[in-house]
Chain A
Amino acid sequence: MSEAKQIILEVTGMKNISRSKRFFKRTAGSVKAVDDVHFYIREGETFGLVGESGCGKTTLGRCILRAIEPSDGKTHFRDRTGNMVDLNTLDSRRLRAFRRDIQLIFQDPYSSLNPRMTVLGIVGEPLVCNKLAGGEKLKERVRELMEMVGLDSRHLERYPHAFSGGQRQRIGIARALATNPRFIVCDEAVSALDVSVQAQILNLLQDLQRKLGLSYLFISHDLGVIQHISDRVGVMYVGRMVETARTGQLFARPRHPYTEALLSAKPLPDPRRKAERIILSGEVANPANPPSGCYFHPRCPYATDICRMEKPPWRAVGDDHYVACHRTDELELQGAAI
């Protein structure tokens, strides 16, 4: 199993706090988009990151790439020689070398491709920027990438508008693969696609992972997709990680009340299983003005005084299973009906 696999990425104490400025640069308030997040990803593994809108999952993904600068914390990444390097301490020149190893696939295949560039330009750009290929060699490599993602390599000179949504997402994937990365952040990579096309792209991502030994951080709000593709899952709520566990474990025996509610809220594609739902009251807290203590306490059916007062510690509750909840040991939580 994955036990023997090495950790490729370890994030500890990651924070991203953006301050909103008023007149004369006085700080008006701060938004903790990512607030003290810990997790790790093993080589060849898919780590699913799930949460509702505004929970900070995209910011977290960008912070790993340092596309958004994290305010605090460490991002240890295993380089090709096997050493763990903290990406947050690197200067821009050394970081650039690592950017080849870490790539990003975006959500919207319509706005993430430059409409005035051909497929050759789009897919080849990372190779040109990193001075990895040029001329005929570049074309050869782009053709190879296009075939790898299931596109017709004769369409090299076409513009994005000539492709359908699913094909555009394939172009985005080909671009991400251009520099032979080892780690890819897929940020809602299938959310904009119809189910039948979504299935094609999920299959493609899994095939590529097996073939190239990639590791994924797979960000999505869709629990079905997350369960399908992930080896381990992390659940975020208002900037904090509330639980990480192996996929089967998380869905069968969640240890955080928010995970339980999230699993219960998902409509199942099966009319004979209209399960009794846990319907949470209220809505996701505003990260600019979060509640005290555990951010989930105003909606949590099990909240007590300590939940209102103190931030729950991040601790291990089992093999590969971490949770931030004061009451996790006392609670009997329901998994998803499988």
Chain B
Amino acid sequence: MTVRAREEFVKPASGREDAVMEVKNLKVHFQLDEGLLKAVDGVDLTIRRGRTLGIVGESGCGKSVTSQALLRIVPASGKVEGEILLYPSDRSKIDGIDIPDGDPVDLVGLDGKGRTIRSIRGGEIAMIFQEPMKAFSPIHTIGDQIMEAILLHKTANRKEAYDIALETLRKVGMSNPEQRMDEYPHQLSGGMRQRAMIAMALSCEPSILIADEPTTALDVTVQAQVLQLINELRDHTGTSVIFITHDLGVIAEMSDEVAVMYLGKVVEYTDVDTLFYGPKHPYTKALLNSIPSVARRDRLESIEGTVPFPMNLPPGCGFYSRCPLAEDGVCNAGDIPLREIARGHRVRCVKAEQV
């Protein structure tokens, strides 16, 4: 049954109709004493209904800041520009805004502390974090924290909210949910805490779930449980998932489409199969070759050097200094555009055909 439900969502892959969110030319810049840090620098993404968009990259590539920008929770020193167009599933869920049906809400234009964005956070867009211990309040019970979100977004009735919370805990496979409602976060194990966090995120039936490295802190056997859970819930509810990770194994497991990020820019954006079987950006290719894969046992192909610090960067391709195909005067001359080299396959490289 789950497979069936999934097919329905997967089929219409093109067109604007199934897009729940479009991100256009998103920039997040931090003004620091040392200069301007371009954490996210012109990112375009499309999030489709019931599908999972994976965002992958090494530390410092801007993947987490991108996800924070979608919820407008970037630290105050960061300046957000561009467009984040949300096509809400249920207009009544969003407070304090008056625009005609069918039109998107631009999250960048909203007051970062206003009523509207607060009704969207947790209501339309929910997020699960890497460290559930840090994301939960240690002095409130799990039940109270899940109910808080429900009371904010869904109902004013405490009894009803309790029932919804209990039901969601049951849905995420929590053992003994009645008892868990009254327990504190420290009483749960890592995997259980992550389940509770997923329950909290899903309790208000968001149309987009952002998962920022949700399994990085978990053991591999528990990670397998949580990944399976997220996939099952997506298939049942039709929620779109934005899955952020540095682990290419998890990306292969979870994603429909993948955006590879490097130095605040998307360098390759395509479906998961093409990414693993026909990567066209030298960085993606090098990244795949540097995984100690389960099949090979020869020497790994590493990438020379390290990621440059994203401040005062020279013009041209960010990967220039580490790229085997780099050509002086071509790759470092000006901005490299993200171009479509095949249907649905976009690459930010002038030499993509040679890869």
Give residues in A with beta carbon < 8 Å to B.
52-53, 164-167, 194-200, 202-203, 206, 221-225, 227-229, 247, 251, 261-262, 264-272, 274, 277, 279-281, 283-284, 336, 338
Contact = CB atoms under 8 A, between A and B. Distances in A.
26 contacts: A52-B220, A195-B248, A196-B286, A196-B303, A198-B292, A199-B291, A199-B300, A200-B303, A202-B292, A227-B294, A262-B220, A265-B220, A265-B223, A266-B220, A267-B224, A267-B227, A268-B253, A268-B294, A269-B248, A271-B253, A272-B277, A277-B224, A279-B225, A283-B192, A283-B219, A338-B294
Interface string B293-306: 11111011111001
Interface string B235-269: 00000000000111111110100000000000000
Given A221-B220, A283-B189, A196 B58 contact: yes
A271 B293 CA distance: 13
Contacts of A53: 219
A271 B246 contact: no
B308 to A, nearest CB: 10
Nearest to A52: B219
B151 interface: no
Interface of B: 58-59, 189-192, 219-225, 227-228, 246-253, 255, 272-273, 275-277, 286-288, 290-297, 299-303, 306-307
A48 to B, nearest CB: 11
B299 A283 contact: no
Contacts of B246: 194-195
A283 B191 contact: yes
Given A196-B58, A261-B221, A203 B294 contact: no
B288 A271 contact: no
B292 A225 contact: yes
Contact of B219 (A195, A221, A229): A221
A196 B253 contact: no
Contacts of B220: 52, 221, 223, 262, 265-266
A196 B287 contact: yes
Contact of A267 (B252, B290, B295): B252
Contacts of A269: 248-249, 251-252, 276, 288, 291, 293
A27 B248 CA distance: 46
Given A195-B290, A221-B219, A269-B293, 11 more contacts: A195-B58, A196-B287, A197-B302, A203-B299, A265-B220, A265-B224, A269-B252, A271-B255, A271-B275, A274-B252, A281-B225
